[in-house]
Amino acid sequence: MQPHSAAHWLLLIHQLPPKPDYFRVKIWRRLQGLGAVPVKNSVYVLPRSDQAVEDFRWVQREIEEGGGEASLCEAEFLDGLSDEEVIAAFRSARDADYAELNEEARRIASQTAERRSDKSPATAGALPRLRRRLDQITAIDFFAASGRAEVEQALAELERLSHPQIQTAETTTPKKPRRATWVTRRGIQVDRIASAWLIRRFIDIEAQFRFVDPARYRLRKGDLRFDMFEAEYGHLEGRCTFETLVTSFGLKDPALTAMAEMIHDLDLKDARYGRPETEGLGRVLSGIAALHRNDADRLEHGAIALDSLYAGLGGTAKLR
């Protein structure tokens, strides 16, 4: 998510009351969870985006309700810190997160290799927990820190060690839902627009969508979550959510495979596939997001563009 406007950054400038101590820890954890990095004492920065504005405003409100003071401003660094130095600070913070996760994954993998018969709850539940943590870090890895690839390798090895006997079970295609409520984070962008399109066109043609504030969302019975925390369908094993859905539901369609490669490169920014159409698709979907603040409108207009792309790639399925 490279900043493009003149105001590249958002700053949250705050002052907390001296007591209670737990309130300081609470706000620090909130900021850590958003991926914000400090540039001065009590000054935290995020790349400028609508989502970042919303996230910082929630923290601002929490600070003020706790008796502190906070201001939110757009900023451009003219002297002192450079954009490159701020970006390096973000990458350094995420690399530290990735390194910590990688160390834990490899430690558990080593224990699993030594004790193949170990069925303790800690070992059995480690992989889903570590993958959730990876998804959390990836969501705030705004500038593609280098440590992610090593974590992916460590988790793949842990999965192989933990489940050596269930390779065939992973190929089982789940039954497609019908008229389900699919939930994702509001402010949909490339991967969520494309994933919602894929769901409605190929998985659940009568799907209903809810776009939620993840900080206030509470799971309801029957919800199917995608591209959000603890989602049933999200980033997994180096795949974006669109790819996960294609794989999970066994969608064998060359046009969808090509689209998945484009969405992967746009969302994960690792240039794995390098298809020539990728940049154009990214500009179209980003333009739709810029023109329409409402998520339902973004999905409606995105679906038109994606229908056209699918047909242009030789897709043969009849789309509604």
| pLDDT of amino acid 144 | 82
pLDDT (mean) for 170-183: 80
Taking 50 as the threshold, does the pLDDT of residue 168 lie above it? no
pLDDT at 164: 52
How would residue 261 be classed by pLDDT, with cut points 50, 70 and 90? very high
Which region holds residue 274: left if phi is over 0, alpha if psi is between -120 and 50, else beta? left
**Mean pLDDT of all residues belonging to the chain:** 87
The pLDDT of residue 287: 95
| Structural domains of the chain ordered from first start | 9-75 (3.30.70.240), 83-167 (no CATH), 181-312 (no CATH)
pLDDT for 199 beyond 90:
yes
Cis, bond preceding 20 (omega within 30 deg of 0): yes
Q: What is the pLDDT of residue 166?
A: 41
More confident residue, 116 or 298: 298
Q: What is the mean pLDDT of residues 27-32?
A: 94
Cβ atoms of residues 263 and 242 within 8 Å: yes
Using one digit for the tens of pLDDT, what is the confidence trace for 281-318?
999 999 999 999 999 999 999 999 999 999 999 988 88
Q: CA separation (Å) from 55 to 47, 50, 133, 253, 260?
A: 12, 9, 19, 38, 29
262-272 confidence digits (pLDDT tens): 999 999 887 88
pLDDT(152) > 50: yes
* pLDDT reported for residue 136: 87
Q: Kindly state the percentage of the chain with pLDDT values over 90.
A: 59
Q: Does pLDDT of 254 surpass 70?
A: yes
Per-residue model confidence (pLDDT) at position 47 = 93
Q: φ and ψ at 8, to 5 degrees?
A: -75, -25
The confidence score (pLDDT) of residue 165 equals 46
Rounded distance, CA 268 to CA 144, Å?
Answer: 8
Sequence-distant (≥ 6) Cβ neighbours of residue 139 within 8 angstroms: 35, 229
